[in-house]
Amino acid sequence: MATPEPTPPAAPGNAVAHSDPTRFLIDDLCRLVREYLPEDQALQVRAAFEVAERAHEGQFRKSGEPYIVHPLAVARILAEMRLDHQTLMAALLHDVIEDTDLIREDLAERFGEEVASLVDGVTKLTQIEFQSKAEAQAENFRKMILAMAEDIRVILIKLADRLHNMRTLGAMPADKRRRIARETLDIYVPIANRLGMNNLRIELQDLGFFALHPLRARILKEAVAKARGNRREVVERITGEIQERLRAEGIDGEVYGREKHLYSIYQKMKTKRMSFREVMDVYAFRIVVDRVDTCYRALGVVHNLYKPLPGRFKDYIAIPKANGYQSLHTVLFGPYGIPIEVQIRTEDMHKVAETGVAAHWLYKDNAVGGPTPREWISSLLELQKNAGNSMEFLEHVKIDLFPEGVYVFTPKGDILELPRGATPVDFAYAVHSDIGHHCIAAKVDRQLVPLRYRLEHGQTVEILTAPGAHPDPAWLNFVVTGKARSNIRHYLKNLQRREAVALGERLLRNALDELGLAYDRLGEERMQELLGTLGLKSREQLLEQIGLGKRLALIVARQIARQHAGEETPTAPAPVSTSSRLRAMLARYTPQFLNFGRERDQERKAANRPLAIRGTEGIVVSYAKCCRPIPGDPIIGFVSAGRGIVVHVSGCKNAREDRHDATHWIPVEWEDAPEGEFPVDIRVSVVNQRGALATVAAVIAEMGANVENVALEERDGRHSDLLFTVDVKDRKHLARIMRRVRRLDLVRRINRSKG
């Protein structure tokens, strides 16, 4: 939380001076609560206040007020939303776990588990040490969001808490004011918007604007006040004309002129590069009627009264926004040719538009109609499950906090809302994670499109899948939704883990072979002893660390050998004959590890064989860009922490320079028939003429190779060098390509580039 910290106790006189205002505030809160809650619940709210007041006794805010004034103000904001007594009690107690001696169990015993859970949901993680402030904030945010997913009232308390802190931000130092304001605009305003809490969002925006850019905000406020006087006559005239026409058509509705708030004006001027006059030249009105069908009748009335602007009508009643917002929006040519924005909605829609999820929570049977933000809230649990850490989770949530985007249709006619710039891959994951994982192609309006295609309003999207397909890491370069990004990352992490375990097992087998030990005969008891020594939990964890290069297979194998040797050493050797000593030694060498005779000879031969590179190891085996090894090249492997094995050409300069660190280098070789394609760099010197690049690229493609990248280097006026990165199968494939390119008349020289 960004609650201003309690200060040390002030002089006794200060506490007395502030006692009357505190009594007034609690009496005012109880009066407001009794307007919509029964007396017994109002008494419980008062009891929560008394506990909070005692707990915060002696604590003061930066402004000098008793600290209890802050929880009272938070509860007052929530009472204005007509929230239940448990929410108000939690608001009064929301800082006691963090800032006082009270603990969660105390609250549960005194006020029940539900109130204790709400307080715990908005409490900071003060008992955990984090590596950075950013990590601490991300983890606190993660805890709050997950608590919100279980009970939406957590975020309502948190937003009210942030609103009062913003209202009283003036007592804070300037740098802290700016930091809190930036956090509010970046995180809490989008959350309020995503939950449809329009009134709270607007106030947070304007308060954040004044704290972050005080001079700009003051100048803009003065300009708006001046312009408002000039606009009053026009607003009254248009309001009267619309009201009169509605009455003539027998429609009972209220018409309001809407004021633009400061931050909205500032953002339009900044992002759309509009002048203040251009922004203020647009007049906004709202019509509130009784029923949905009356909304459409009122729309017809205003379209008959003023000419509508083509392409500027939006029906958010038929297709509501993700936060539950519903209205008809239209733009008209008003009197004097001025543009008029009109919103038309019912009373219930108006309640949702102003208080958002709070209205949905109050109407538990969803009597207000339309969707609720609960789908987004429940999707946060999936993001949490897939995220590797708090920072990654916060990144995914931030992406999903900006819902303005496009509406697209499934082949069955269902509507999905996606952020602007969303692709078919985002669509696939929005439908279901499995569809996203197995996506291979997409059709938009029955036409095949690339997976990075940007979707537009009203399009119908169909996803083509295949059972053996899986996410491509390149998708992370263009997906925009948090759900798609988190699912792809989660899959790739698991894929890397599986590949690392498989590679780690191969490396450990080879290392044990060199020491005359057999991996398959490594008993579970001995493995558990080794894991305990290394501080690991499972065999898979050990193999994964070896595969990722975090532990060296040779060192682990030597630890196993030392354990084995320790078991072989007798504590009190008795004098025995040579034959007896040999028999005893053979008996101690258990069959789980050492084989004699033919089996041991075979193992010795296998130990001398380098690790075979198949080309299918995945992301735990990579190929050095400095030398671009391909099948057929003599190679050597470097065990790199976190990356697994990096394969170099044996003669690579980087490999020669680092060979002094012998423990990280391992012998490797290509399998007889490696799979996949491998990038290689070639340099082609050509005569400068039109179409030279296209001609060479076409020949490479004819030879069954894909061009990954191309660059141009000017040599002189007559010649240039084309640098291609080409995917080939092996050295023979590369040789065929180079021979074919060399035969072109415009080519003067071609060679493979290494480093």
* Distance from C-alpha of 447 to C-alpha of 452, rounded to nearest angstrom: 14
Q: Is the pLDDT of residue 464 over 70?
A: yes
Where are the domains positioned within the chain? 12-195, 216-362, 491-569+582-609, 618-670, 678-753
Per DSSP, the three-state class of 23 is helix
What is the model's pTM? 0.54
Token pair listed for 232: 């009053």
pLDDT tens digit sequence for 624-637: 888 899 999 999 88
- Model confidence at 20, pLDDT cuts 50, 70, 90, reads low
Contacts of 222 (CB under 8 A, 6+ apart): none
More confident residue, 553 or 72: 72
Q: Across the strands, what pairs with 342?
A: 285, 330
Question: What's residue 132's pLDDT?
Answer: 52
Per DSSP, the three-state class of 156 is helix
* Contact in structure between 641 and 548 (CB atoms under 8 Å): yes
Q: Is the dihedral of CA 496, 499, 505, 506 positive or negative?
A: negative
Question: What's residue 435's pLDDT?
Answer: 92
Provide the percentage of residues in the chain whose pLDDT is more than 70: 79
Q: Is the pLDDT of residue 733 over 60?
A: yes
Question: What's residue 205's pLDDT?
Answer: 92
Angle at 535 between CA 533 and CA 536, to 5 degrees: 110
pLDDT tens digit sequence for 136-162: 666 666 666 666 667 778 888 989 999
- What are the DSSP E strand ranges found in 376-460? 405-409, 415-419, 439-444, 447-449
pLDDT tens digit sequence for 481-508: 888 888 888 887 777 778 788 888 888 8
- Model confidence at 370, pLDDT cuts 50, 70, 90, reads very low
- Model confidence at 327, pLDDT cuts 50, 70, 90, reads very high
Per DSSP, 609 falls in state S
Averaged pLDDT of the chain:
79
Nearest alpha-carbon partner for 220 in 283, 181, 268: 268
Active site residues: 98-99
CATH homologous superfamily of 12-195 equals Hypothetical protein af1432 (1.10.3210.10)
More confident residue, 582 or 294: 294
Question: What's residue 358's pLDDT?
Answer: 62
CATH of 678-753, one of 2.130.10.10, 3.60.130.10, 3.40.50.970, 3.30.70.260: 3.30.70.260
* Contact in structure between 333 and 347 (CB atoms under 8 Å): no
* Distance from C-alpha of 593 to C-alpha of 565, rounded to nearest angstrom: 11
* Distance from C-alpha of 371 to C-alpha of 373, rounded to nearest angstrom: 7
- Model confidence at 81, pLDDT cuts 50, 70, 90, reads confident
Hey, how many other C-beta atoms are within 10 angstroms of the C-beta on 48? Answer: 26
Mean pLDDT, to the nearest integer, of 287-305? 93
* Contact in structure between 410 and 433 (CB atoms under 8 Å): no
* Distance from C-alpha of 27 to C-alpha of 46, rounded to nearest angstrom: 9
Q: Max alpha carbon distance in the chain (Å)?
A: 122
C-alpha separations of 559 from 74, 526, 532, 593, 607 in Å: 61, 11, 12, 14, 18
Q: Across the strands, what pairs with 409?
A: 415, 460
Rg of the chain in Å (alpha carbons): 35
- Model confidence at 381, pLDDT cuts 50, 70, 90, reads low
Asked if the 216-362 domain carries CATH number 3.40.50.300, the reply is no
